[in-house]
Amino acid sequence: MLFQLLIVLGVAVITICVMFRGDEAHRILHHLKRAKKGWIILAAAAMIFFVFVESVQLKIMFTGMKQTISLWKCFLLSNVEYFFAQITPGASGGQPIQMVYMSRLGVDVLVGALACMMVAVMYKAAFLTIFIAALIFRTDLVLDSISRVPVLFAIGVLFQLISITAILLCIFRPSIASAAVKGIINIGAKLRIVKHPSQALTKADSSIAMYREGSAFLKNNKWVVFRMFLYTIAQRLAFFSVTFFVAKALGVHHVDWLSVVSVQAILSLSVDMLPIPGAAGANEAVFVSLQNRLFHESLMGAGLLLNRGITYYFLLMSCGVFTIFANIIAGKKKKKERLVEELEPIPVAVRDIRTEAGAPTEELSKKPAQPDPEPIERE
């Protein structure tokens, strides 16, 4: 984790140094001082809402699967996921570590895995829905944005399609998914990429079984799934709206909310899957390439600094604080469980005590009990 944090910090320092060179520093500071604080607060609130919505989704899932856990703990679990997602390549470390914390906070392992799976499915579905809506209502803008980052967009779409296809196969055609995974693992073993194929097959089978359970949940809880889908749409729109709030804070006139959201969806689709913690560096470069229609040259530095500062660094710091709280609560729960175990009655073990004659206690216990001596009658 320290290595990833150092990478993020290093990229942040390089970005700031590049942005604040020459007269650009005075220009950026001038616009930041004049920025409307109310819109900045609203942008930060949108990011808190972004994290909170997932905690509501987890609460809905846990309640549906008869798992008792407070909304506060669900909020902590959401912060844990987003903190580790920000510092791992392709946001790959978020959900696995979140499942570890779920177990520490008393959530059943299978229930936690199913909840994470459902959140991932809803994220893909919501992302696809927003992209299609943007393509329908802002066709020219979306196509122009794609033409500016064609390679990154193609890579992002490819990874998303592979991910969506794999999830759908695991849910609706688990036998096909199992055969495909086994074939990939066997090829990896022959190429010596997969070192322990048997263990990999076991993990793959358990993952596919989890998705099969998720399929049953989808079929039996359609209203719950629909609610989660709506929450995810609101969550993603809140995230994409931060750029709109930043533009308003910097005094950009005639801002079209849907256009801003459409371009941010293209940006997210292009950089989210890159194997860099937080897509650091690439995110900034793509932002400058896509959002130069919204922020003209004099405002671009301030717009980039505010947007990235709120959507990434503010999110990273706030989630880091709540992750500390999650560690404290998980530690207290573990201590409490240890105390309960220590207070439980311990059965007395039969000790192998040798008698003076060398006979063990077990042999002595087999001897017939000696009758009590008869009382002596007094004359």
> What's the pLDDT at 334?
66
Residue-wise pLDDT for 259-289, tens only, equals: 999 999 999 888 877 766 666 667 778 888 8
pTM equals 0.78
Q: Name the pLDDT band for 148 (thresholds 50, 70, 90).
A: very high
What are phi and psi for residue 277, nearest 5 degrees? Answer: -55, 120
> What's the pLDDT at 18?
61
With contact defined as beta carbons under 8 Å apart, do 318 and 48 qualify?
A: yes
Burial class (CB in 10 A: 0-12, 13-18, 19+), 227: middle
Please name the residues in contact with 156: beta carbons below 8 A apart, sequence gap of 6 or more: 269, 270, 271, 272, 273
Residue written as tokens 């309640």? Answer: 63
Residue-wise pLDDT for 54-77, tens only, equals: 999 999 888 877 888 899 999 999
> What's the pLDDT at 348?
44
With contact defined as beta carbons under 8 Å apart, do 74 and 111 qualify?
A: no
> What's the pLDDT at 278?
62
pLDDT at residue 371 above 60?
no
pLDDT at residue 234 above 90?
yes
pLDDT at residue 378 above 50?
no
pLDDT at residue 44 above 90?
yes
Domain chopping of the chain, boundaries: 2-333
pLDDT at residue 188 above 80?
no
Please name the residues in contact with 181: beta carbons below 8 A apart, sequence gap of 6 or more: 201, 204, 208
